[in-house]
Amino acid sequence: MWTGWINLILGVWTLISGLVSGLQGSVNYIIVGIILAILSFATASKKWQGIISGILGIWLVLSGIVAGLQGGANLIIVGILIIIFGILLGVAKGEKA
């Protein structure tokens, strides 16, 4: 599924953001979280990887709003998880019409 590959790209971006302190702004959390949540919930509703990716997107939005949750470790962990679930979604076979 194409959403899995977009999730993979967002996961790599999130991982890079966790390693580069200049990219760890709250706007980054919120934008990536919203895109991730919308794509994951809207297109992968029957796949458990999509549901988990959507929850991670909501977590990123909350992390962007609550200042105490912003940090490199948060982005690194979420980025790695998004990469894993993005690959799993990307190689998953789609439903036949």
Is residue 56 within 8 A of residue 77, CB to CB? The reply is no
**pLDDT confidence bin for 97, thresholds 50/70/90:** very low
| DSSP H helices in 1-97 | 2-19, 26-43, 48-65, 72-91
Burial of 72 (0-12, 13-18, 19+ CB in 10 A): middle
Q: What is the pLDDT of residues 73-85, one digit of tens each?
A: 888 888 888 888 8
Q: What percent of the chain has pLDDT over 90?
A: 4
